Amino acid sequence: MPLHDEISALTAAVDAALPGARQDLERLVRIPSIWADPSHADDTRRSAEAVAELARGAGAADVTVIAAPGGAPAVVAHWPAPEGQPTILLYAHHDVQPTGGDAEWTTAPFEPTERNGRLYGRGAADDKAGVMTHLAVLRAYDGHPPIGVTLFIEGEEESGSPTLPALLHEHHELLACDVIVIADAANPAVDVPAITTSLRGLVDVVVEVAMLERPAHSGVFGGPAGDALTALVRTLASLHDENGEVAIAGLVHGTSEAPDVDEAQWRSDVAMLDGVELLGSGSIVERTSQKPAVAVLGIDAPRVAEASNVLLPRARAMVSLRLAPGDSAPKAQDALADHLRANVPWGARVTVTPGPGTAEPFSLDATGDVYDAARRTFAQAYGNDVVETGMGGSIPFIAEFARTFPGAAVLVTGVGDPASRWHGIDESLDLGMFRRGVLAEAFLLAELAR
């Protein structure tokens, strides 16, 4: 078949598959698969079974739901390679972030709703859209892709993938491949495709500060005796200098030659309040992809409505640190812990406990036949050339998988955009971009077969 006719036929097949893919995406969004919340463990298992059912319906030769001890369920499915053809592994994850408060959403987070060409719901973009991108491509090929396909849908990415190394070790043969496509990244615009060439790493710790053996009357003893929450706040304040630069010693700081983004648009995307200053220095692209960032994710302390006039004996917080490409997760976690211990005031006792999930930073050189094929096919699907970009987020799977299968080319793509609000209130997916993402991946499989 001439190339033009093949592209036309494949485009028609994708368009035929999209209504069902949209329907099944909505079905997945309705499942609150928040693995980080133990009360949703059964929902996450139900989500994995739903993905497994969809894989069977897309013609998989075999489908397995796997899990490491104590880990979330993941789905592995295979479409065997025709003779002489490579095998591609298509990755996404079916677990999602907590909602951040259902009442804050314009519509219920687990009831998918379309508004102005976007589908709203938790997981609609991150990353159940990635799951359905892969499955829509396989449906477009009527379950007979031109190359071998392994579908791997993880279930604990939003928790830092703590059991992923064990899973990869135990199921090494199930996941062997020549090319890896990770559909868990974002594009700079809905019609501009990106290849993500670097990601920041991630570590976190829980820091607890203790000042007293028990609560004490703040009037009778306050003054000479301090409270643990105040000591904790002063400790956390030391994480940044007066300009908002991360003040933790020993971390890697990178640079970027990529063009910067428009600051006004970026502030709008992040919903920054008027007058609030940006932290740190350098371009926004540099600060979000090539430099470390530290944030306090939560504090255990009495709610204001429940406060009383006592000096708190203990207080604790979770601190998250994003790592620049080239850094080391264990080294950075040690540096964060050392900094917290060194900056606790007034002789307060401090305990620092490593968090359960870590992600190594990752970078790649996007040269070679696979990347050339991706540039051609993605440009064709999106109508614009591919841009190479770093991403500030972390995907633990990538570095782990690259270590496990060092010969496989890694292609990081996705169907998010700056308006998708991943991890935030009113997360959404642009449906036009979803179509372009499915087309791009379908074209890529055809190109790799050639």
Active site amino acids = 95, 157
Cα dihedral sign, 431-22-82-171: positive
| Strand ranges across the sheet with 201-210 | 293-300, 314-323, 201-210, 349-354
For residue 98, the SS3 value is: coil
Report how far Cα 186 is from the mean position of its chain's Cα atoms. Answer: 10
- What are the tokens at 64? 């397995």
Q: Residue 375's CB: how many other CB atoms inside 10 A?
A: 17
Taking Cα atoms as reference points, which of 263, 236, 25, 202 lies closest to residue 123?
25
- What are the tokens at 308? 């009383």
CA distances in angstroms from 59 to 70, 140, 201, 307, listed in the order given:
30, 11, 36, 58
Query: 35: part of which helix (H) or strand (E)?
Result: none
Alpha-carbon distance 51 to 130, whole Å? 12
Alpha-carbon distance 212 to 416, whole Å? 48
Q: What angle do CA 75, 79, 81 make, to 5 degrees?
A: 135
Contacts 24+ apart (CB under 8 A), 267-274: 269/418, 269/419, 271/424
Alpha-carbon distance 146 to 447, whole Å? 9
